[in-house]
Structure 1
Amino acid sequence: MTSTLIRALQNEVFEPNEERLITCCHVSKYLKKKKTSYLCLVSTSTLPYNVSIVQVKQTDKQLFKKKRSWELAELKCVDGYNDSYDTLEFDLHLDKIYRWVSTNPKERHAFIHNLWKQASRHILKDKPTFKNVPNNWITEDAMTPENKYVASPLLALENDLAEDFQAITDREQEDLKKLISGCEFAISNAEGFMEVLSRDLSLLDGENVQCVLASEEQVESLMEQLELAINEADKLEDQLDAYDEILCHVRDTMEKMEKKNSMISVVNTNNQKLMHDLDNVITKLDLRPEYQKTLEDADFNSSEGLNAAVKAAEALKVAMNTNIDKALLQMSAIQEQRKKFERYKEKFSRSLSRQLNNLFIHYGNHKGEAERSTDGLVLPQHSGVHKELYAYTELMHWMKAMDRKMYESLKEVYTTSLGKLYDRDLRGLFNAARDKIAANGNVSTPTTLIGLDRDQWTLETSMQDRQKYDNVLEQVLIQLEPVFMQEQQFCVKFFQVFHIRYFI
């Protein structure tokens, strides 16, 4: 990884938050090599130091952005898969197991070593475990890509001295010059210079011993104070441990409460959905008591009873045809309610069929609204029958939807009864027409023209007879058309049929 990239990560991502980048590894998710990111080990710049693992992604606009981060204390385990240096895979056990593939074995080596190093420094207990990695990676003197040599105790001492180095002050510089000026012979006589230094050192040691003895009481007082401070620190540590245990207990309790609250929320949601479904089913399958009474004992002879029967029949139709989930249909209560509706339907259907059957038979003997006159031909109309039957239109539609077999039976009864009625009326009309043709005429056989085409008429037939025949035929057709149209409209509306069969 280039220094330019590391400097960009430090300046753009971490420096604004007063954080310092320790090490970085260019990685991709396992089996997803196209989606790359940067795993960064980061520490705060100020005390107390807080170390964390940060995943940084690079956007399409070449900008770096934090995706997620974990505290170093959350790290439970680092799995390197095997001891080979060239291995690229490694796992981090955090809130879950994250599988990474490094693009470079050197970056993987440096990242795992720095993880171990920071964990050793900043985690006092419950340290993460490192498995399937070389042992020399998890020691203080590990050789990393940044350190190409093996460290030694002298190197550690040198590093400590370098860290503790402070420049001398001006006064110390003057004293050093005086000491050197008083020992100009040191260059030519090193032994004499060493004797002078030894003598001065002995004098200083003596003065130090005298100062220590003079300050023995103060030292004893200081030691007592230090002992008291140590005891207080032990008490404070014990108290902090007790608080830590309490906090752990509170945390465990809160997690349990959170799980219980989640389960309670799920139970409440399920109960609400169940109540909604049950209310919906009960509402759909509910049939008011007055409707039940009407269905059991319907009154078709009064307008009030007929209106009540229509409302009850529609309510039963809606209840029986309602859309209910198949799983709910297995409930015994729903099955029992549907059986109850079926009994209501059968009883009401029989009552309605009996009523309409009697009406159809009764209206089969209807005489019509007009009688034959001497001035012309009249075919009796039965609009009165239609008007009385129109009150049962909605019930007939209900019968067609709910009981098809009974509907077909009623249609057959109507066809038979009204067919006889129209057969009688048409016969009367044609007999009257024949009589009218023969009346006041010289035709010996009045029916000679009836049933013959115009081309078959003989020359013996007078023009007057032909004209008379045309007039009578026109009157017959004029009488037939309104009656047939009226019956057709009634059948379409009453029976909801669109193919009419006439009975002549």
Structure 2
Amino acid sequence: MASTWNVLQGDVFTPSGEKLLEIAHVWKTGKKKKTAVLCIIVGASLPVQLFLVKVRRADRGEQYKRTDKWPLKDLKLVDGKQANQETPEFDLRFDKIYRWTASSSDEKNTLLRCLWKLNRRHLSGRIAFVNVPLESVEGYQRLQEERKADSEFTVPEEETEYQEMTPKESADMLKLMEEYEPLVSNSVAFVERLSRDLQLLDEDKLNLSTKHYEALSSGDLSTPKKVKACSAAVGALTSCMNVQIQPAYRKLQAVAEQLIKFETLRQNFENGFVSHIVNIFEQQGRGHVSWVMRPERKLIVPSHGDRHRDLLLFVPLMTWLKNTNPALFQDLPKVYTRNLSKLYERQIRLFFERARMLLERPKESSHEGLDKLANSPANDPSPPRRSSLADSVDGEGEESDRGNMGKILERILRELEPLYTAEQTFITKFFLPNQDGHQEILDPNEVNLASLAASRHTRTTPQLDESIIQMLKEIFASLESELKNFIGACQRVHQFSFLQILVTLNDYSSDARATPSTSSSAFFVSVLSQILYQARSTFGNRVASLCKEIEDAKVSGKMRLGVLPFISRFEEFVTVSEDAFKSTKRREDLDRAHGKLIGLVFKSIDKLSSTNLKINADMVKMENFHHIHCFLSQMKIQILEDRRKEAKKRYSEHLDRYVIKYLGQPLEKLNCFFDGVKTRLAQGVKEEEVSFQLAYSKQELRKVIEKYPGKEVKRSLEVLYKKIIKHLSPEENLLPLVWHAMEKEVLQQYHEFDHLIHRCYQGSGIALDFSVEDLLEYFETITQSNL
């Protein structure tokens, strides 16, 4: 062992300036294969620090390495296992118990004797020794050996202030004691006088009244009166325990016993109070919720006001517990959250099941249920902030369904907000009664719960404590998912319900933020913001999907397209959205969507009209722009007013192009002839010289006119009319409009031909074979025959 000692001191501890006091070869009980060395050492720094170090030989070679190190001040218990017989086993208890077996009983006793002496000299006896024979640690039969060991285990002077007296110091001490022997002999009288002075000084402060003592001893919290009595008693007890007493007085037996009595009373009541509160939390968490389902078809969430009022009686005691035992107090919010989250989860689930029943009910019974829903009172006694629920359900069909969804959702939010607010206010009062930590309500004569609640409310700030936010998240963990599920159910009922949902959430969120008192419902506003974000995301996704549908639209190879399909989808979206947003001023999202959609509609019309070569592009554009113009004129949407004017302009342009293109068919050769005449005039040929041009002579003009007698003109117009019928879609009813434009254009061309004849062929007697009256009759006859 000497060799081991030297190796350990020289190789392991000397390099770090530490000194080895004792060693023992040990192994974990039941695992002899792994042998280690327990070492008691003195640290290098001041003040003195004592450690227990476990050292193990390296796997290869003779080197030792440290594996564990514990400060001796953390050692709580030394268990020698057997007090009546020798055994090498022993236990050391730090934060956990370490069970070891020494190589021999002597080596174990030597180690324990070292621990016992260090505990007595340097650790003020804080280590408990059990099952250790007195002779093994005190060594009465080996006094000489102990003295030798004392010198061996004594910490050097530079390492501690505790040193044995030298012979000279002992002699001086004896001389001093002889000098003051009379004073020592009168020590009893001195102690009695000191005790009397102490009693006169602190008899009121260190005495707890019998009433308060009995209240705390019984720990009865079954009635409000007894709760108040206990609140007053803990205030008096705290005052007694916080009395400023000199350290010397605390060593007096009477004072020490009284303080121990107070501490025992405090701990007993503290444990009873915590157990009582936990039982209340658990009972409330197991509360029945069957009464949530009302037979009157009312959508109402249960109130928790009575539960909160019962618990608020304990606010003074909660304040006391928070100040006297913060560690124990911190566990109570977790217990409350764990139990109440179960209650709220059941209530909220049943509440939303009832809401879905109203949502999915047939239309007649749904209206009846909503009438009752609108007339049912809310939880809070104040008048409802939003009155739209009281309105009757107007309209039928899908519009009515969407309105019902908005009313149900608004009712849900109006019921849930007071629930959130009440729970948040209660938690703040109950678990954070005094943010500054002062015991300002412990005086039993000043405990007034009503004034307490009022003062708490006046100090409420919009910035919630992080712990309160976390508690509310856990208590209402299911609410956000239930809201999302309800919104999903709405969307399954109607594809455009997301519009009404967005409007309802937007309006409610704006009102909640604008109301001055909503600082108490800040957490509900944050949850509402999450749901609103999802609703806006859904709105954006639906708009994006409609945009893609418009961009990717294709047309068939039919001769007649009519109004393109995506225009009907656009009109449906605009109609439904305008109906949903008609009662709100928050139209930013909708206006952006309308602007984006109408732009894509115009682009797609231009693109699709030119993809099918079998159809006339001007006719397709004319029909679709006319349709859009009529629709926007009917909707009167301010943001789309410029687009409405543009649609009208483009419709008129393509109508003119369409008419001009097909006008040449009934009078084609006349058109070609007089176009040549106009070209010659434009080139500078005089009017009287045109007839001398070979291609535009009087004989050529007569030949062209002869090809268009009145009957031929009428027959050509009839053929043209039938072609127009085939091109135009009947649902737009543009035939009269196009035919009238055609008539106007033909008459204009007639006047132009007649004017050129008079200018360039004056005196020739040449004239068209039909007159204006004939043309008017042709058009009227064709129109009447096709009615």
Query: Normalization by structure 1: what TM-score?
Result: 0.39
Instruction: Report the structure, 1 or 2, having the larger helix content.
Output: 2
- Higher share of residues assigned strand: 1
TM-score, scaled relative to structure 2: 0.25
Larger Rg: 1
